[in-house]
């Protein structure tokens, strides 16, 4: 058809891999891409990959060609914003008319599209303003681009003025969403939530609005509402790996291991065949499956053992050249032995070998494997080696807020989640007695909590402070060595720890007493 329309150069690709190579080597005015591309990436993944690698020029019109009508596929395609869609089957006249429109668009927007390729922010803003004033056909497109550019370059006040002005002329969901992003970036979570509410009211299936709402709840520490909101977003549009990944993390924090496992599997599937496919996701999945084995009955345990075995096989197939693959397999085969063998206790030589290997690979491997190995070492009483791994992992990735939080949580309480909850319950009771000046009862509950969680910084410091508050000189003399031994348990604390200043203060107080 294209040749009949007078198109001089037409290239064909049998699959996404061939298409990537062609686009890397040639400039195309238009790319017509079917959604279903056989083995490997589909059309949605190809567009994401091209954008992620910055291979696709903004001057190229990317058209998704599809006969897909399922909600899942349609919503997934809509979210990645191809330049246009072409529904199959299509007639010659329809394609010819659309082709003419695509070429006209490229010509009309050439200056701003070139500026996007070159990253010339000033020219992008100037051209968007010109298009908005002079070319009604592309006005909405230019408004979106202008607002996105201003927000990315932190010109929030200017973006808010323009968006408010446009919204006063015509109420549109995307404008409310952009205003919500500005409020969120400015720290006004109440206003951001109000704007998102307007988006959802106008457009209940706007999945990106739920993504932002989930981020708002995360900032508000509303973990359950964040989880429920992400569940809604995934139900609307499941083919989004970032959304699935967020849902997996939140589900895990809420101890919903089944939901965490499913979301992570979906995320891995959506990244498959792309450059985003990584071993770290599999390691997170393996850690969840191992934890699930410890909670479920024998029948379910067999299921998870099969899942772990399958995940290890997929790692070897997908990442055969990564040294980390072999180390992951070695560690999780040890975990499988622990799961299937009652009263399993790894040998000294085996543990030292694992420690040496993970220590040698730590700088070049993902944090997830190191975290799981550290947890295994804590579980088997090898506290010093576990602390060494955690401290190195924290120094390696200090900017990964969620990961550092998990490291700190593991190091301070290397116990089960149920035990953590019980220790927290006892700590809360002890604090109430302390506030009511019933110090003896407070000490009793602190001691019971410490039997369950002997390394928790807040718990140890609460107890020491409580004993000092009692002002029982004879008892204090008798207990001085014991209190110092409690404080010595916190030698692993680092200067950035929220409890470090309090720890130093109480330590000096003990030294001067």
Note every long-range contact of 96-103, with CB atoms under 8 Å and residues 24 or more positions apart, other chains counting.
96/5, 98/63, 99/2, 99/5, 99/7, 99/30, 102/29, 102/30, 102/61, 102/63, 103/29, 103/30
Q: Is 231 in a helix, a strand, or coil? A: helix
Q: What is the model's pLDDT at position 109?
A: 96
Q: What is the pLDDT of residue 494?
A: 86
Cα separation of 1 and 240, whole Å? 34
At residue 187, the pLDDT reads 95
CATH of domain 1-108: 3.40.50.2300
- Assign 3-state DSSP to the chain and report helix, strand, coil percentages, each to 5: 70, 5, 25
Confidence (pLDDT) at 120: 97
CA distances from 350 to 17, 31, 286, 330, 372 (A): 43, 55, 20, 10, 16
- Taking 70 as the pLDDT cut, the residues of the chain under it are 69, 295-298, 471-478, 513
pLDDT of residue 320: 93
The domain made up of 278-412 has a fold known as 1.25.40
pLDDT of residue 338: 87
CATH 1.25.40.10 fits 417-512, yes or no: yes
Q: 453: which 2 tokens?
A: 């969680």
Find out whether 455 and 489 touch, Cβ atoms under 8 Å: yes
Whole-number pLDDT of residue 106: 94
pLDDT of residue 296: 57
What pLDDT sits at residue 73?
A: 74
Domain boundaries, the chain: 1-108, 278-412, 417-512
Instruction: Tell me if the pTM is above 0.75.
Output: yes
Q: What's residue 477's pLDDT? A: 47
Two tokens at 41? 């990436």
417-512 has the same fold as 1-108? no
Alpha-carbon dihedral sign for residues 269, 271, 274, 276: negative
């Amino acid at each position: 058809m294209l040749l009949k329309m007078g198109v001089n150069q037409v290239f064909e690709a049998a699959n996404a891999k061939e298409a990537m190579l062609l686009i890397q080597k040639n400039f195309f005015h238009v790319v017509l891409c079917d959604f279903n591309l056989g083995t490997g990436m589909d059309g949605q993944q190809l567009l994401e990959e091209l954008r992620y690698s910055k291979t696709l020029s903004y001057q190229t019109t990317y058209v998704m060609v599809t006969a897909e009508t399922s909600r899942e596929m349609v919503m997934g395609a809509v979210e990645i914003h191809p330049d246009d869609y072409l529904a199959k089957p299509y007639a010659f006249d329809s394609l010819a008319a659309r082709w003419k429109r695509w070429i006209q668009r490229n010509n009309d927007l050439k200056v701003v599209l070139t500026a996007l390729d070159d990253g010339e922010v000033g020219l992008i803003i100037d051209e968007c303003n010109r298009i908005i004033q002079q070319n009604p056909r592309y006005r909405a497109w230019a408004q979106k681009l202008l607002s996105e550019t201003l927000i990315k370059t932190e010109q929030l006040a200017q973006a808010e003025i323009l968006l408010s002005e446009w919204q006063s002329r015509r109420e549109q969901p995307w404008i409310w969403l952009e205003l919500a992003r500005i409020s969120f970036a400015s720290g006004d979570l109440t206003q951001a939530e109000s704007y998102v509410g307007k988006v959802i009211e106008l457009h209940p299936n706007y999945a990106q609005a739920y993504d932002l709402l989930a981020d708002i709840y995360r900032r508000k520490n509303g973990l359950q509402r964040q989880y429920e909101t992400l569940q809604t977003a995934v139900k609307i549009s499941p083919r989004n790996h970032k959304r699935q990944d967020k849902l997996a993390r939140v589900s895990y924090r809420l101890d919903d291991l089944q939901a965490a496992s499913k979301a992570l599997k979906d995320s891995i599937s959506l990244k498959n065949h792309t450059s985003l496919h990584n071993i770290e996701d599999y390691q997170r999945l393996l850690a969840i499956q191992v934890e699930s084995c410890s909670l479920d009955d024998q029948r379910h345990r067999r299921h998870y053992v099969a899942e772990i075995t399958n995940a290890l096989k997929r790692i070897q197939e997908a990442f055969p050249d990564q040294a980390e693959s072999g180390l992951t397999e070695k560690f999780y085969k040890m975990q499988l032995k622990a799961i299937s063998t009652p009263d399993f206790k790894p040998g000294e030589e085996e543990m030292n070998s694992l420690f040496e290997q993970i220590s040698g690979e730590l700088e070049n491997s993902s944090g997830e494997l190191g975290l799981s190995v550290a947890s295994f070492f804590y579980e088997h009483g090898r506290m010093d080696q576990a602390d060494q791994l955690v401290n190195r992992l924290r120094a390696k990735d200090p900017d990964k807020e969620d990961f550092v939080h998990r490291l700190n949580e593991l190091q301070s309480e290397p116990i089960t989640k149920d035990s953590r909850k019980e220790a927290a319950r006892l700590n809360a009771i002890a604090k109430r007695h302390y506030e009511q000046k019933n110090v003896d009862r407070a000490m009793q509950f602190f001691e019971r909590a410490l039997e369950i969680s002997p390394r928790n910084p807040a718990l140890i410091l609460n107890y020491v402070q409580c004993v000092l508050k009692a002002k029982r000189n004879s008892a204090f003399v008798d207990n001085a060595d014991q209190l110092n031994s409690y404080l010595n348990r916190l030698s692993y604390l680092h200067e950035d720890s929220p409890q470090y200043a309090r720890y130093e203060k109480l330590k000096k107080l003990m030294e001067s007493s």
